[in-house]
Amino acid sequence: MAFQFVAGQNPDTNTRSHISRATWTHTRGPTAWTATSGLDRVTTFIRPSADSIGPTLNVSNFIAGLSPPPPIPLQRAQTRFRHALAGARTAGKHQLSWGGEVSRNQINGKEQDVERGLFQFSNDFGRDAVTNFRMGTPSAYTIALGNTHRGFRNWFGQMFAGSQWRVNQRLQLDFGIRYELATRPVEVNGIDVVPFGCDCNNIAPRAGFAYRLPRKWGRFRTAYGTHFGEIFATTYGQVRMNAPRNIRFSVPRPDLLDPLGGLTFETLPKNIRGGSFDVSPDMTTPYSHHYNASWEFDVAQGWNIQLGYVGSRSLKLFQMWFDNRARPTPGLAQITQTINDRRADASKLEVFRLLNASRGYYDAGRITVLVPRKKGITADISYWFSKAIDLGNDYTSTLAGVDARQGRSQAEAGVHQDLKGRSAFDQPHAVLARGAYEMKWLRGVQLTGVFLLKNGTPFNVESGSDGPGFGNVDGQGGDRIHILDTSILGRTVGDPDTSTSILAKPRFAFQTPLEGRGNIGRNVFRRGKIANVNASAGKTFKLRGDRQLEIRGESINLLNTPQFAEPIKELTSPTFGRIVNTLNEGRTLKLQLRLQL
């Protein structure tokens, strides 16, 4: 059952997993073989609790949802059969490895977009969102009707070969290559067709070396590799939401009591318009180029310094483009009621295009200092400087549910120019210090501590409404605003006492309906820093024989430092700029007793 403060707000979740393996190993001389067969199965059932009110209500993100958001309810069973064979051989200075795997993936279940319906209340019709909520005048109603239960099947395969070559006492080389393929998913009942073909050309090389420098110059290592991801079932499976077996409506300014005018799936007109999910026929597996280098050397009196760099370029990342939006049309007012009349393709409503359109860039440098052990004390400290940017979606996106809206541009055209900015996980500066102290005068009591300090992650500032006077009235949210005081760009907004003075409403302005987009960039502000101290104290007592007793006390967030969440970021909200929540828990203490017999 769901834990919740408001009845019906959170879903009931039932997840079960099963993993089984059968492994055979054989060694003959310098060659070793391993064969494995396995079964992985995960079933997930997420549904609204019995006291949920029904449709999802969104009041401009000001009032928490009164029922779980889409895509709930969700019912899925995923089974993967795996068979692998690998070998290894030592031949002189070479360590060779090779192998392969083939797996069969089966996905069965029901996944809907807005099966239960979604009422959107926002600043519109000359009133604020809360007033519209109280009056029962939503700006839009979205619902999907039909049957989305499907079963998809496809095959995965890979082969690899590699070698470690110890050239001499100073130099070691490491190189290899991997080939991967994924066949086109097939719906077992022939209901839907996934438009892309077999992804059969994924070749991933890797290479690296380690070199011990002469004298006291230490060790140098570097490596490069290409890594492929996966086209997730939750991504391509959205073809199930298209007509004729499923229809997705978006009704502007609906009647709250009868938003569909009495229509049901069975009584819908044959020519009725709906939204569509267009999976690109060119969709392919995203991949990344990863590379790194490090130099480690000792300095006077046992001090050790490590310098490192890591970088990646991720290509063909998933992104959803929101097309067929409403646009300015002569003779039609730029208001909510005319959204569907102002779409370029009159035969459809919104079009969700799923394609490989985003890219990600990451670079980081690190310096670590290891302090020599002295009087029972050991310590090290590291500092990172990094930068992560993308074109709207990073490598974690599956284009399903909330992920899909992360890469939503303000307008249909110029998606990359509008969304290019700091990645959602970008944290440029980070310091990590660790230490341990063995207190011999207390007979072996050991104290340990970890201190972490890093930037908060970036966030957007948005309009909060697509209605006239607040957004561009194109039928899609995510509209940003105009910034009038550019001196606050890049500021960290992490203190509840000062957040509203930084994000003061007079420093911003709404866009007009015909402007298309606000001038503020994506992710130009940053939430508060992370500053955390964890500590522990423990001692092990030896008992008779091999028995021993360990007593250990731990504290997470020892100094009880709050990590504040991002402020309310919708300019239409009465609480715009306020920080109303934290992301971490308060100080926790734990006492652990462990007896080893």
Distance CA 339, CA 326 (A): 5
Residue 89: inside a domain:
no
Residue 234: DSSP 8-state: H
Please report the pLDDT score of residue 483 as a whole number: 97
Q: What is the pLDDT of residues 200-210, one digit of tens each?
A: 999 999 999 99
Does pTM surpass 0.85?
yes
Q: Token pair for residue 49?
A: 């609790």
Residue 121: inside a domain:
no
Residues 369 and 447 in one domain: no
Residues 556 and 594 in one domain: yes
pLDDT of 193 > 70? The answer is: yes
Classify strands 11-28 and 56-59 as parallel, antiparallel or unpaired: unpaired
Residues 399 and 343 in one domain: yes
- The residue range of the domain holding 336 is 168-244+273-377+386-426
Please report the pLDDT score of residue 1 as a whole number: 53
pLDDT band at 6 (very low <50, low <70, confident <90, very high): low
Residue 457: inside a domain:
yes
Residue 176: inside a domain:
yes
Residue 433: inside a domain:
yes
Residues 354 and 390 in one domain: yes
Please report the pLDDT score of residue 441 as a whole number: 67
Please report the pLDDT score of residue 2 as a whole number: 53
338 contact partners, CB below 8 Å, separation of at least 6: 252, 326, 329, 332
Residues 492 and 410 in one domain: no
Please report the pLDDT score of residue 3 as a whole number: 57
Residues 398 and 414 in one domain: yes
* CA 298 to chain centroid: 39
The CA-atom distances, in angstroms, between 531 and each of 12, 183, 400, 453, 563 are: 34, 46, 33, 5, 7
Residues 199 and 325 in one domain: yes
Amino acid letter for position 81: F
pLDDT band at 269 (very low <50, low <70, confident <90, very high): confident
Q: What is the DSSP string of 408-456?
A: --SSSS-HHHHH-EE-TT---EEEEEEEEEEEGGGTSEEEEEEEEEEPP
Q: What is the pLDDT of residues 400-455, one digit of tens each?
A: 877 888 889 999 999 999 999 999 999 999 999 999 998 876 777 899 999 999 99
Residue 286: inside a domain:
yes
Residues 405 and 485 in one domain: no
Is the omega angle on the peptide bond into residue 68 within 30 degrees of 0, that is, cis? no
Residue 156: inside a domain:
no
3-state helix, strand, coil in the chain (%, to 5): 10, 50, 40
Residue 58: inside a domain:
no
Residues 365 and 434 in one domain: no
**446 contacts 540 by C-beta, under 8 angstroms:** no
Domain count, the chain: 2
pLDDT band at 141 (very low <50, low <70, confident <90, very high): very high
Q: What is the pLDDT of residues 152-165, one digit of tens each?
A: 999 999 999 999 99
Q: What is the pLDDT of residues 28-78, one digit of tens each?
A: 999 999 999 999 999 999 988 888 877 888 888 777 667 888 888 889 999
- Longest CA span, the chain: 93
Residues 342 and 212 in one domain: yes
Residues 197 and 300 in one domain: yes
